Amino acid sequence: MEALELADFERAARDRLPAEIWDFVQGGSGAERTLAANRARFEQCRLRPRTLVDVSATDQGLTLLGSRLETPIGIAPMAYHRLFHPEGEVATARAAGRAGALMVAGIFASRTLESIAGAATGPLWLQLYWLRRRDALAALVERAEATGFRALVLTVDAPRIGRRLRDARNGFAIPAHVRAVNVDQAVMAASHRAGHGSSGIADHAKEQFDPTLTWADLAWLRARTRLPIVLKGILTAEDARLAVEHGVDAVLVSNHGGRQLDGALPSLAALPEVAAAVPPNLPVLLDGGVRTGTDVALAVALGARAVLIGRPLLWGLAVDGENGAAQVLDLLKAELDDTLALLGRPRLADLDRTAVAPETPDGRH
């Protein structure tokens, strides 16, 4: 397939995937306002190109929490990659390695942590949901450390699952042949049962996620690991400051790709206040709606050290496994390279707020 933009992968993936899996990937919660706003915000922003700068050597490399990366474009944690290709997260890990990109594996990965680590040639982080079963969580942390994962990403925007109407209408459940193999199967059973006007995903979270989690609980995780801890799902300066006070090592500005609180602000809109609220050396990452090299440059200019992509990676995986996922990453990297050159800011470090026009069409920044 000749793909010139990520939308080409999106169309091809839609043609290949069963309707209910397509809905599971593409969908957001409620009226999908936040899902749409994530894209709209990128589309509203404009870049301020500088001219007559030597751009013969562009460089999108960086160091993030001690790991060297060839690109600030990484892979967001997503459950069940085997819904998209039989090799699942192993294919994703190989693609990430080829691109020199960060991969964040999900707690509900459908391949073992050991096989993902075995396929990876670059840095891996592991995402966690706060399960009621603390013993299962503790075991995962121990295993992630033993397997060479380099950071833990705790998702904090999901005390329960958002109202994902497409999944509820489809009575969506994870098919029996795709399993979250790193977690005790007793903990996962509800994901595989079709709900009544609900989904297996939502019912499972209601049963297994601990909604009592507060800032005080972070000490429990901190005491159990030497790995850096990243909080995923921070959208306000207030929470960014609390994250710093509680000793986290990085924050990920995210609204879960519009899948949790519908009506929450778009990630790109939240980024400047979060970046301003944390010490300059604390990495801020962003996900939600990143679809082009221009989007990556905008996010970096507004304070992100790196961005993660969600759905586009799954489109690539659905289209052609490892190769499709690698092509998605390569396309975005090539677009970012062009953007850096045409913007007259050849290195990531050259991107700051002066690269973004202060007025967006809706009059806000």
Ligand X SMILES: Cc1cc2nc3c(=O)[nH]c(=O)nc-3n(C[C@H](O)[C@H](O)[C@H](O)COP(=O)(O)O)c2cc1C
Q: Which is nearer to ligand X, 27 or 100 (CB)?
A: 27
Residue closest to ligand X when measured from CB atoms = 310
Is residue 310 close enough to count as binding ligand X by CB under 6 A? Answer: yes
Is residue 191 close enough to count as binding ligand X by CB under 6 A? Answer: no
Please choose, out of 1-9, 110-118, 283-291, 353-361, the segment that lies near ligand X by the rule CB under 6 A. Answer: 283-291
Distances (CA, A) of 248 to 154, 218, 227, 281, 348: 10, 9, 10, 12, 24
Among residues 196, 204, 256, 365, the one annotated as catalytic is: 256
Distance CA 321, CA 82 (A): 10
Q: Which is nearer to ligand X, 155 or 198 (CB)?
A: 155
Within 5-34, the residues that bind ligand X by CB under 6 A are 24-25
Please choose, out of 73-81, 93-101, 221-229, 334-342, the segment that lies near ligand X by the rule CB under 6 A. Answer: 73-81
From residue 196 to residue 225, what is the string marking binding to ligand X with x (rule CB under 6 A)? ------------------------------
From residue 32 to residue 61, what is the string marking binding to ligand X with x (rule CB under 6 A)? ------x-----------------------
- Shortest distance, position 284 Cβ to ligand X, whole Å: 15
Distances (CA, A) of 268 to 211, 297, 334: 27, 12, 22
Is residue 195 close enough to count as binding ligand X by CB under 6 A? Answer: no
Among 41, 256, 305, 333, binds ligand X (CB under 6 A): 256
Distances (CA, A) of 18 to 12, 83, 322, 355: 12, 10, 20, 42
- 256 is a catalytic site residue: yes
Q: Which is nearer to ligand X, 166 or 256 (CB)?
A: 256
Q: Which is nearer to ligand X, 22 or 344 (CB)?
A: 22
Q: Which is nearer to ligand X, 21 or 119 (CB)?
A: 21
Is residue 232 close enough to count as binding ligand X by CB under 6 A? Answer: yes
Burial grade of 52 (CB within 10 A; 0-12, 13-18, 19 or more): exposed
Distances (CA, A) of 147 to 98, 125, 140, 299: 20, 11, 10, 31
Amino acid at the residue 104: V
Among 10, 167, 239, 287, binds ligand X (CB under 6 A): 287
Is residue 122 close enough to count as binding ligand X by CB under 6 A? Answer: no
Among 74, 97, 123, 288, binds ligand X (CB under 6 A): 288
Distances (CA, A) of 35 to 69, 152, 159, 273: 28, 25, 19, 20
Spacing of C-alpha 2 from chain mean position: 26
3-state helix, strand, coil in the chain (%, to 5): 45, 15, 40
Among 108, 130, 172, 315, binds ligand X (CB under 6 A): 108
Among 29, 44, 71, 127, binds ligand X (CB under 6 A): 127
Q: Where are the beta strands (DSSP E) in the chain?
A: 62-64, 67-69, 73-75, 103-105, 124-128, 151-155, 229-234, 250-253, 284-287, 306-309
190 in helix, strand or coil? helix
- Among the listed residues 211, 190, 212, 215, the one whose alpha carbon sits nearest the alpha carbon of residue 202: 190
User: Which residues of this chain interact with ligand X, rule CB under 6 A?
Assistant: 24-25, 38, 76-79, 106, 108, 127, 155, 232, 254, 256-257, 287-290, 309-311
Query: Catalytic site residues?
Result: 256
